[in-house]
Structure 1
Amino acid sequence: MISLPFRTRRSRTRASRPQPGLRVTWFAAAIVAAVVPFAATPARAQSYPDRPITMVVAFAPGGSTSIVARAVADRMSETLGQKVIIDNRPGAGGTIGTKAVAGSAPDGYTIALGYTGTLAIGPTLYSHAGYDPRKDFAPIGLIGNAPNSLVVHPSFPAKTVAELIAYAKANPGKVNFGSAGVGTASHVSGEYFANAAGIKLIHIPYKGTGPALTDLIGGHIPMAFAPIPATHSNISGGTLRALAVTSTTRIALLPDVPTISEAGLTGFDASLYYGLVAPAGTPRPIIDKLNAALREALDSDDVKKRLVADGTNVTPSTPEEYAAFIDTDEAKWSKIVKASGAKGD
């Protein structure tokens, strides 16, 4: 609807009324102005993409987000006919890179790997995160989910969750755990676990899961919460010992590893979800093209094998389904963050 300027009956004299010719010209211009952007959108989408696409991963290389992003980016590049380039932008629990994408041009050439840590945890943990997960992004689609793993150095005395809790109670404030950084899902999972178990753990933040695991394997810290895509090879190789997974059910990749819920903290669930998002305002035809490329990638045997082998359960979706999930996941983690007392600022 085109709104016209308000004029009082008194001010509308014969002299002030627009001439018929001018009225037609003004109205035609208004119609053209309203229609041209919509006419241009299909043309833009039809030629999209005509240059490389940047996929921002808001954490350092080597973590689960990079593993998942690269698995889908390689196949999407083939489908779209343009390279999908991974751009790691770590910092502030992933909020720096995520905020940058929220402020990018909504043209489909800058997208982000959406993640539980950035879209569900960060907005509550950081009072100045700088973005709203519901308003500042156009969801493209889900990729999948994976639980965190509670892993320890092989020399750590606790071999079960119950033994870990007992050890921490006997040594209050002396057990450290590493994470991908303040405000990340691995950090809040650790705070969530400590709060549920009634123990005190000292948080050691790193600039990504990769650096945290390097220090854990090197024996510089005793334990960490980390996504299974980043830990399973070390668990299999014996350089890390898995005490539990943070989902409510065991996973096929590690069938002998119990859940934290099984270990006595009933109902404990800290699964992580991955997806793709674009800046709000990205034209729907472009979102649809990206969603189709993502779904094709997730349907390919090669990508499925890469993700499943790293412990990720593939769950493709529509943009609408992912939008609804972001809303639900943020509401859940907001409560957990507030209950844990964790702060990112």
Structure 2
Amino acid sequence: MTHTGGEARAPRPAASRRQFITASLCAGLAATFGGTGIAAASTDYPTKPATLLVGFSAGGAVDQVARLVGQGLSKDLGQSFVIENRAGATGTIAAEAVARARPDGYTLLLGTQSTMVVAPGMYPKLRFDPVKDFAPVSLIASVPLVLVVHPSLPLHTVQDVIQYAREKNGALNYASSGPGGPQHVAAELFSTMAGVQMVHVPYKGEANAIADVLGNQVPLMFSNLPTLLPYIRSGKLRAIAVSSLERAPSAPTIPTVSESGLKGFEALTWFGLYAPAGTPADVVRKLEQGVKVVTSDPETRAKMAAQGMKVEASDSATFRQYMASESVKWGELVRKSGIKPE
């Protein structure tokens, strides 16, 4: 046999050819997917403890949800899920750390709407993208807020509050736990939908804000329903309406803002589990299934219900869609309202 341009080469053995073809295919797939952040499958996950970051202080609602979920995942998946609090900047310090973490499922975030859909509009130089830099695992739970007023005011309905705000001509104050928090954005959504102006009085924390509404230094506020229920039941505050689309099971006699005239009004405090973008799909599925197991546990559900929470355990795809719609809704509100960090 005659060969042109080089010496004759011995034919590859069949096994060698198969190895060559397999190696070539693997190299081609790596080249195709290497830039997309897709990692190798990890069906044995988890093989070591994982860290669940919380962007708020210990003891608050976000921390409580994280600890319930962490304990449940530890039991279900057989490895410790350690809670680490990195408070500050509306939870964005913790979120940035997770966004930059290795996408292997061992560094996770317990995120909220304040961090993942409100903060991006507040912080123009935010060093992470809530959509591109995370793999949403599951929406875990939500809790409605309630609009309350000091009982000395002659206000009993949403329409009373709207009329009172118009009479005050932009001089009606409302309290919140700070810029960008659920209390703040709920009140701004209320103002926008009602076509009224109110003055934001931010406090350093929910407790301080509630204290001044109880003392009638500030006439009204939105805040998480479970926190305010004791004051409502004792008559120290008057409930006007809840912020969910449906009435809250823990307070069924309180109407919703939506049924009271501002149709479609909804503002919830919600909690979700996130992994860094590029986390293997099978790891995300294991975590997703783990959340379903945790939130199906009667004891965990009872603890969440005691805090006025509604279990929302979802699959990853549904959570991603919810994130997209929430980002549009609250991003637009932040821009229109000019909400800024302190």
Q: What TM-score do you get using the length of structure 1 for normalisation?
A: 0.79
Residues 178-187 or 137-146, more deviating: 178-187
Aligned partner letter, 2:78: G
Aligned-pair distance for 1:277? 0.5
Aligned-pair distance for 1:130? 2.4
Structure 1 pair 28–162 and aligned structure 2 pair: CA distance change class (3 A): closer
Structure 1 pair 191–321 and aligned structure 2 pair: CA distance change class (3 A): same
Q: Is the 8 A contact 2:194 2:262 kept in 1?
A: yes
Partner in structure 2 of residue 284 of structure 1: 281
Structure 1 pair 195–328 and aligned structure 2 pair: CA distance change class (3 A): closer
In 1, the alpha carbon distance for the partners of 2:310 and 2:268 equals 11
Alignment of 1:8-27 (within 5 A): none
1:135-179 Cα shifts (integer Å, max 9, x gaps) = 110111111333222133445553433333333333345433232
* Aligned residue among 178, 183, 186 for 2:183: 186
Q: Secondary structure at the match of 2:44?
A: helix
In 1, the alpha carbon distance for the partners of 2:47 and 2:223 equals 35
Partner in structure 2 of residue 124 of structure 1: 121
Q: Secondary structure at the match of 1:181?
A: coil
Aligned partner letter, 1:202: V
Partner in structure 1 of residue 44 of structure 2: 46
Structure 1 pair 197–136 and aligned structure 2 pair: CA distance change class (3 A): same
Alignment of 1:294-309 (within 5 A): 294-309=291-306
In 1, the alpha carbon distance for the partners of 2:290 and 2:253 equals 36
CA RMSD of superposed structures (Å): 3.5
Aligned partner letter, 1:318: D
In 1, the alpha carbon distance for the partners of 2:208 and 2:22 equals 61
- Structure 1 gaps of 5+ residues are 1-13
Partner in structure 2 of residue 313 of structure 1: 310
Structure 1 pair 28–285 and aligned structure 2 pair: CA distance change class (3 A): closer
Q: Is the 8 A contact 1:125 1:342 kept in 2?
A: yes
Identity of aligned residues (%): 37
Question: Does 2:138 align with 1:141?
Answer: yes
Alignment of 1:201-280 (within 5 A): 201-213=198-210, 216-217=213-214, 221-280=218-277
Q: Is the 8 A contact 1:180 1:207 kept in 2?
A: yes
Structure 1 pair 221–130 and aligned structure 2 pair: CA distance change class (3 A): farther
Aligned-pair distance for 1:204? 2.7
In 2, the alpha carbon distance for the partners of 1:80 and 1:227 equals 32
Structure 1 pair 126–343 and aligned structure 2 pair: CA distance change class (3 A): same
Question: Does 2:73 align with 1:76?
Answer: yes
Residues 291-300 or 96-105, more deviating: 96-105
Q: Is the 8 A contact 2:46 2:79 kept in 1?
A: no
Q: Is the 8 A contact 2:247 2:256 kept in 1?
A: yes
Structure 1 pair 218–185 and aligned structure 2 pair: CA distance change class (3 A): same
Aligned-pair distance for 1:317? 1.6
Q: Is the 8 A contact 2:48 2:80 kept in 1?
A: no
Structure 1 pair 162–265 and aligned structure 2 pair: CA distance change class (3 A): same
In 1, the alpha carbon distance for the partners of 2:208 and 2:52 equals 21
Aligned-pair distance for 1:280? 0.9
| Aligned pairs, number | 326
1:19-66 Cα shifts (integer Å, max 9, x gaps) = x99xx999998777788999x944x55151412x32222233454323
1:205-251 Cα shifts (integer Å, max 9, x gaps) = 34544554455456554332223344334434545432211122222
Q: What TM-score do you get using the length of structure 2 for normalisation?
A: 0.80
Partner in structure 2 of residue 110 of structure 1: 107
Partner in structure 2 of residue 9 of structure 1: none
In 1, the alpha carbon distance for the partners of 2:211 and 2:246 equals 28
Q: Is the 8 A contact 1:61 1:210 kept in 2?
A: no
Aligned-pair distance for 1:75? 1.9
Residues 292-301 or 79-88, more deviating: 79-88
1:267-314 Cα shifts (integer Å, max 9, x gaps) = 322234321111112222222221122110111111111222322221
In 2, the alpha carbon distance for the partners of 1:176 and 1:60 equals 27
Aligned partner letter, 1:285: D
Q: Secondary structure at the match of 1:46?
A: coil
